[in-house]
A and B are shown apart, each in its own frame.
Chain A
Amino acid sequence: MSSIRFERISRTFRVGGQLVPALADIDLHVDEREFVAIVGPSGCGKTTLLRMAAGLDHPTSGRVLVGGRPVTGPGPDRAVVFQQFALFPWKTIRDNIGFGLKCTGVSRAQREPIVERYLKVMGLDGHGDAYPHQLSGGMQQRVALARSYALEPEVLLMDEPFGALDAQTRIDMQEELIRLSRVHPRTVLFITHSVDEAVYLADRVVAMDRRPGRVREIMDIAQIRRSEKWGELPVEEVMDLESFNHLRTRIWRLLRRGDGEASGHGVVDNPPLRTQPAQKTKLRRAQ
């Protein structure tokens, strides 16, 4: 039991004394072991939706159920992969991957083999004792994935996980993810800006509108993927397929049509929550 269900969700933010609706009337569900990607313009509330499933945000009305139970807070049953990787800079790669296990009370002796396994699975052999800053962006995101997978969660929530990577690394990681989800199938909610990425990875793609965020259309891709065996082809081959191009053009048309009505506004991309990464400022002190 690990489906995600959003029931009549709406969310308003207070920005400078004004109430701004971010999400309105969202009904969506992700079946068990299904991979659902949400695409949409900045400010359509897709990240907020994911944060609700993670328990890091709460709907103004409606409910979020994961595995049939209402979400009350964050927990290790739903792993989150962040765009900024969110690795702990003061922990080695090994300790980063083992962190969740440590918190859930797994003993050191039991942790070790699991950590070693994921180091191997993610192609991080030999980097276990490095600190995150010594690794490239792509490697860092592999660590973040390993950290999430190590908890063996039923649900994976990925918030633009490849958004901070360069184009080539990004493609490599997409393939990696496809490979992983074949070996370890999970329920995945995947947020992205990239239509190509969504079509390539997901069983279903949800296109969203903004101001307020609404579901515009949901497209089923699973069948085409299976019949054309996308999973066994390299990315560039898939992207060359007529079916792929057809799907991606359709989504682009949808998004563009929605965008025309909403452009020209200062859109709240990152609502001022406690999630806003505080800038680390150097303390200026003399003596």
Chain B
Amino acid sequence: MLRQETRVPVWLPGTLSVASCIGLWVVATTFEFVGPARLPGPKDLWESFEQLMDPGYAGGTLPQQVWFSVRLVLAGFAVAIVTGVPLGILMGMSRRAEALINPAFLVIRPIPPLAWIPLAILWFGLGNGAKIFVIWFGAFVPALINTYTGVRSVDPGLIAAARVHGARPWHVLFEVVVPGALPLIFTGLRLALQASWTALVAAELVGAFYGLGRVLMTAARDIYPGMIAAAMICVALLGASMTYLLGLAEAKATPWRNR
């Protein structure tokens, strides 16, 4: 829409900026403009990864820690979908249900998921229960709100059209309302997934026996920048790949949308 400068190839600015960032990092750490106690160099990073693979760090090797964290995210995320999406559909379809549930939701919603961590620890201890609870809570809110909005935004004309063609309420729900709301439901799930990872990392930072957050926290205590960076990269990569998978699922589930 706006300015179009066509002289420069499309890929050039991005490549240049990424290259210069990496270059700056390599130079700054190699010549120790920034000390190794503050920013790890490429070598530190590599060694940290090696150590994390074998013999491991903070109580486990990389695959163990990853599996531990991923399991928790998947569990919390799944519970959030199973609870948030149907509740969102219910509230979107029925004014009565909305009016009934809204007050409780309005009280709970402004409290950020991370603020539940101390309470979760009091209720469930430092084990998996507390983490799943916090992740569930973080993912539940966006899943519910977007599902609700999606259901509400379904064209009433479509519902009427289904009715005049003899559709039962059940059909209307599964053949019109849910597909119509699906794009927004997926938007909610993407946000929910993001929230899940944030909640997991925070919960594991506050207190955990295993997991990537635990690696991060231990590395912070040991003032081990290479390992901090390694753990951050793992968290980012896992988050990115799960978001990617969700995108694939969305494309499969909503083939009528052209992207």
Contacts and interface: CB of A to CB of B under 8 A. Distances in A.
A278 B142 contact: no
Interface residues of A, number: 7
Contact of B187 (A274, A276, A284): A284
B138 to A, nearest CB: 10
B184 A284 contact: yes
Contacts of B1: 274, 276, 278
Interface string A257-279: 00000000000000000101010
A284 B184 CA distance: 8
A286 B138 CA distance: 12
A286 B84 CA distance: 14
Contact of A274 (B4, B146, B184): B4
B187 A287 contact: no
Interface string B210-226: 00000000000000000
B70 interface: no
A287 B142 contact: yes
A287 B191 CA distance: 9
Contact of A286 (B2, B4, B187): B187
Contacts of A274: 1-2, 4
Interface string A216-239: 000000000000000000000000
B134 interface: no
Contacts of B188: 286
Given A274-B1, A274-B2, A278-B1, A287 B145 contact: yes
Nearest to A278: B1
B141 interface: yes
Contacts of A278: 1
Nearest to A274: B1
A287 B184 contact: no
Contacts of B2: 274
Contacts of A284: 146, 149, 184, 187
A274 B146 CA distance: 33
A113 B170 CA distance: 67
Interface in B175-224: 184, 187-188, 191
Nearest to B142: A286
A61 to B, nearest CB: 19
Interface string B1-22: 1101000000000000000000
A274 B1 CA distance: 5
Interface in A91-109: none
A232 B188 CA distance: 64
Nearest to B143: A286
Contacts of A276: 1
A285 B141 CA distance: 12
B102 to A, nearest CB: 16
Interface in B117-150: 141-142, 145-146, 149
A209 B108 CA distance: 66
A287 B145 CA distance: 8
A287 B144 CA distance: 11
B93 to A, nearest CB: 19
B65 to A, nearest CB: 29
Nearest to B2: A274
Contacts of A287: 141-142, 145, 191
A100 to B, nearest CB: 21
Contacts of B141: 286-287
A278 B4 CA distance: 15
A276 B187 CA distance: 28
Interface string A115-127: 0000000000000
B98 to A, nearest CB: 16
Nearest to A276: B1
Which residue, A274, A285, A286, A287, has most C-beta atoms of chain B within 10 A? A286
A274 to B, nearest CB: 5
B176 to A, nearest CB: 20
Nearest to B109: A287
B196 to A, nearest CB: 14
A147 B146 CA distance: 43
A211 to B, nearest CB: 26
A276 B4 CA distance: 14
Interface of A: 274, 276, 278, 284-287
Give 4 nearest A-B pairs by CB, closest first: A286-B142, A286-B145, A278-B1, A286-B146
Interface of B: 1-2, 4, 141-142, 145-146, 149, 184, 187-188, 191
22 contacts: A274-B1, A274-B2, A274-B4, A276-B1, A278-B1, A284-B146, A284-B149, A284-B184, A284-B187, A285-B191, A286-B141, A286-B142, A286-B145, A286-B146, A286-B149, A286-B187, A286-B188, A286-B191, A287-B141, A287-B142, A287-B145, A287-B191
Given A286-B146, A286-B188, 11 more contacts: A274-B1, A274-B2, A274-B4, A284-B146, A285-B191, A286-B141, A286-B145, A286-B187, A287-B141, A287-B142, A287-B191
